[in-house]
Structure 1
């Protein structure tokens, strides 16, 4: 039996609290997790149970959300982010990481934050969640993987303008991404020999240099070198033909070159059930693949499917690591 998963509250003005309650209602005793945040930020009708230690989460009645309390300085109003709560949001993330690193929780699942609110209210110095977690974990480079039962994708470059991709996409970056992805699938997903498909950068993977030369000049040679080391790689593959069902059956993960090349197919395949996984951390981290959704916060209509999938995946990965 794995240890319970620590679920951070995220931005208290977003949908985090309400989908945490929905996830608890769906998962019941099937999966032990606890929410870290201010109980006063939960919806008025919320049924919860305060705990003093993560070990108590498994004993809480399935109809109640286990809550490890963390005081915030100001109330939460759905859809109205408050920078005065920013420092406490950051504290919750750091506290949850500490619990996982101390072995008191088996994995970390994070609810969405708003980077601008954190920067405005607490001078948050990181581009996002992932970079902050890498800092807390003491690692320089991590990889973002989006996963659902039908598809796993990894974008090599992430939140940059499309015009900047060719300059940011270097052999060193792609090689590191492939190595971290391979190691993560082995350690966290129980895949003994990951089959990795590498997308081309250009249409038709360059079509022999007619539509770009990156594939010929360095992507294909890099793949060949890593394949000679024992990596099971295929590509560079034409991006427009590698995501249909028959093609997906031939690999375990697709390493893509930029954000939309990776995220469009997975959001098309499973919009509500995709999970954001950070590979390369010394601890397990998953997250629902959506944002704070201020526009629907507090209305009770938010879909908890991605969070349920993220919590299930966190537990599965913890079991694979034996934690």
Structure 2
């Protein structure tokens, strides 16, 4: 990887029917980071700048790692790498609605960005929101970014173990199960899955500069099962995984009641958190507490990938698309988180 490529962050435009393109455009303009490059459609990004109220020229680039070397580069512009094969009629997609063309374009940009990173052409990835129904309509058989990125990273090998982390300045959570029904999630909880999640979480915290992470493991059932009275997942799977993690030298504790552990872990003014991170068993158990604190600064990080990937803590927000009211704060936080992880 060249020196320039080692600094470049790619921002995929997301679903063109939602707020992804405009929050990407607004965040790039606000961050004033010359090492950022959008992966998407040039015309879509020109429209996104207008919606975001940003006056900035769009520069179509052929190689994201080399565009800063161009002598005639405008002093301040939005660089866009448009991969071959994007649908040609994306401006015709209805704003605020599910459209298969938008789903296909979003997936194509993600795939192209990952290939470029794997080929040494960029350092990391920040993804704008995609819509799962649009992906499905386009025939893309993944429930979300995390699963798609795992498959792309594992194309020539056994599946790499990945986990979803949602983080802001006050709270971090890592999930054992992600995008599946609650019934399926419960069936997927076992000792090896919980132990692997704790290991991945601990490695991630070390990458954040925390030498000895304090990890709280939340239970699944009310009151963490009350010793088996309200469910036996804690006794059979979660507590044994914690014991194995501790035997490896990991400071994991629990299982704790899910209704109080997040309050204990929250690091706020006048309230230093007892833990650096909470491992939660299911999607909503872990994400509701972080999102309740405010999606503006929340960041989704995919742990376990061979490259850095972050994204904002919100969806496509069809109701806000094209109104000029989309807030780029979470996208900006995702960019800064990616930079921190690459440092």
Whether the TM-score (by the shorter chain) exceeds 0.5 is: yes
Q: Which runs of 5+ in 2 are unaligned?
A: 268-272
Question: May I ask how many residue pairs the two structures share in their alignment?
Answer: 316
For the pair 1:312 / 2:339, whether they are aligned, the reply is no
In 2, the alpha carbon distance for the partners of 1:309 and 1:247 equals 18
In 2, the alpha carbon distance for the partners of 1:84 and 1:268 equals 33
Contact 1:106–1:315 (8 Å) recurs in 2 = no
Query: Residue deviations 1:277-311, cap 9 Å, x none?
Result: 10011111111111111121111101111100111
Greater mean deviation of Cα atoms: 310-319 or 71-80: 71-80
Correspondence for 2:36 = 33
Helix, strand or coil at the partner of 1:264: helix
Contact 1:154–1:255 (8 Å) recurs in 2 = yes
Correspondence for 2:63 = 53
Correspondence for 1:91 = 108
Closer/same/farther in 2, CA of residues 246 and 145 from structure 1, 3 Å limit = closer
The Cα shift of 1:43 comes to 4.5
In 1, the alpha carbon distance for the partners of 2:104 and 2:82 equals 15
In 2, the alpha carbon distance for the partners of 1:294 and 1:18 equals 12
Query: Residue deviations 1:34-69, cap 9 Å, x none?
Result: 101111112543622222222345576674222112
In 1, the alpha carbon distance for the partners of 2:300 and 2:96 equals 23
Helix, strand or coil at the partner of 1:35: strand
Contact 2:9–2:126 (8 Å) recurs in 1 = yes
The Cα shift of 1:98 comes to 1.6
Query: Residue deviations 1:219-274, cap 9 Å, x none?
Result: 22221122011111111112222222666522211001111111111011232211
Correspondence for 2:141 = 125
Contact 2:103–2:131 (8 Å) recurs in 1 = no
For the pair 1:217 / 2:236, whether they are aligned, the reply is yes
In 2, the alpha carbon distance for the partners of 1:160 and 1:85 equals 23
In 2, the alpha carbon distance for the partners of 1:158 and 1:36 equals 26
Greater mean deviation of Cα atoms: 199-208 or 255-264: 199-208
Query: Residue deviations 1:150-201, cap 9 Å, x none?
Result: 11101212223334433221112111211222223323x2332222110011
Matches within 5 A, 1:1-323: 3-29=7-33, 32-44=35-47, 45=50, 47=56, 48-56=58-66, 63-70=76-83, 71-76=86-91, 77=93, 78-121=95-138, 123-138=139-154, 139-187=159-207, 189-244=208-263, 248=267, 249-319=273-343
TM-score, scaled relative to structure 1: 0.90
Greater mean deviation of Cα atoms: 263-272 or 212-221: 212-221
The Cα shift of 1:72 comes to 3.0
In 2, the alpha carbon distance for the partners of 1:178 and 1:19 equals 33
Closer/same/farther in 2, CA of residues 82 and 162 from structure 1, 3 Å limit = closer
Q: Which runs of 5+ in 1 are unaligned?
A: none
User: What's the RMSD between the two structures over aligned residues?
Assistant: 2.2
